[in-house]
């Protein structure tokens, strides 16, 4: 996929990898690449992709669009071309360079609406809906559980294979009460009570652990996802 590296004063501020056919550039937020600064028009320019070619088109902007330091109206982009708009420069690559991953956190990387990002966003929406439905923190049944959603509405919840526990877990080698989730100082704390190594969070055995949103709790063969609500 083509990649556009946005620089300001020669510092990389954003990397954009896109699968879109048309990428708009401008000052307002409805653009794909938003450049919020003086000298950038609301709808400044467009990059169009078709049949392996990319074309930069200036949208009659006030201060102009420059390609390799030359003012242009419409021009075909080549690898490593530099588009200048105001104080920004946009470096165009025909293929994204993955070797920059290390510095991603520093420079900022954005992938325009890829599948994975949409999925993450969708999951987050679903979790938010569940929280608002129950008005608090919830356990979601992920694997080998007899519920899909369990509201954490008391101060202590027990997990294990005994008949009287709140949350039943599967697995031969676990204790009657294998673990508990209790409210302690603003946290939901997961504590292992039974056999060692049979209570895990995100794959790691724990003895005592402050739960965070999205943590995966595994007791024996059962796995639950902890979704944090506002009832702390």
Partner 1 sequence: MKLALISDIHGNLEALTAVLEDIENQKVDKIYCLGDVIGYGSDPCACLKLVEQNCDIKLMGNHEYVALGLISTENYNEAAKISSDWTKNQLTENDFSIISNFEMKHSWQDFLWVHASPFEPEQWHYIIAPDMAFQAFSYFDEKICFFGHSHLPQIYMEQEDNFPRMQGGHDFLPAQENRYLINVGSVGQPRDNDPRACYLIFDTEEDEVIYRRIAYDINLTQKKMSEQHIPEMLIDRLEVGR
Show contacts with partner 1 in window 10-49 (CB under 8 A). 11-14, 27-29, 34, 36-38
Residue 142 contacts residue 216 (beta carbons within 8 Å):
yes
Query: Exposed (0-12), middle (13-18) or buried (19+): which is 136, by Cβ within 10 Å?
Result: middle
Choices 4-12, 51-59, 73-81, 167-175 (CB under 8 A): range interacting with partner 1:
4-12
In the complex, the smallest distance separating the C-beta of residue 210 from partner 1, rounded to whole angstroms, is 9
Q: Which of 55, 76, 121, 156 binds partner 1 (CB under 8 A)?
A: 121
Number of residues that bind partner 1 (CB under 8 A): 29
φ, ψ of residue 21 to 5 degrees: the values are -85, -20
Please state the closest distance from residue 14 (CB atom) to partner 1, in A: 5
8-state DSSP, 186: T
Smallest separation, CB 200 to partner 1 (Å): 19
> Which residues between 128 and 167 bind partner 1 (CB under 8 A)?
none
| Nearest one of 178, 167, 181, 171 to 212, comparing CA atoms | 181
Q: Which residues of this chain interact with partner 1, rule CB under 8 A? A: 6, 8-9, 11-14, 27-29, 34, 36-38, 87, 103, 105-110, 113, 117, 120-121, 124, 186, 213
């Amino acid at each position: 996929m083509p990649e556009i590296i946005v620089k300001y004063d020669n510092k990389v501020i954003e990397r954009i990898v896109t699968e879109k056919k048309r990428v708009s550039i401008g000052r307002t937020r409805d653009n794909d690449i938003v450049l919020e600064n003086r000298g950038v028009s609301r709808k400044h320019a467009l990059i169009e992709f078709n049949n392996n070619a990319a074309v930069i088109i200036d949208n009659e902007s006030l201060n102009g669009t420059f390609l390799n330091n030359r003012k242009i109206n419409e021009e075909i982009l080549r690898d490593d071309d530099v588009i200048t708009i105001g104080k920004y420069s946009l470096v165009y690559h025909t293929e994204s360079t993955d070797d920059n991953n290390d510095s991603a956190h520093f420079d900022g990387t954005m992938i325009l609406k890829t599948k994975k990002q949409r999925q993450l966003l969708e999951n987050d929406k679903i979790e938010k809906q569940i929280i608002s439905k129950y008005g608090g923190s919830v356990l979601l049944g992920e694997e080998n559980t007899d519920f899909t959603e369990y509201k954490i509405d008391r101060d202590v919840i027990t997990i294990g294979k005994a008949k009287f526990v709140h949350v039943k877990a599967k697995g031969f080698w676990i204790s009657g009460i294998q673990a508990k989730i209790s409210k302690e100082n603003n946290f939901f704390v997961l504590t292992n009570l039974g056999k060692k190594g049979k209570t895990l969070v995100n794959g790691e055995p724990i003895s005592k652990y402050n739960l965070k949103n999205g943590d995966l709790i595994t007791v024996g063969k059962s796995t639950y996802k902890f979704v944090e609500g506002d009832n702390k």
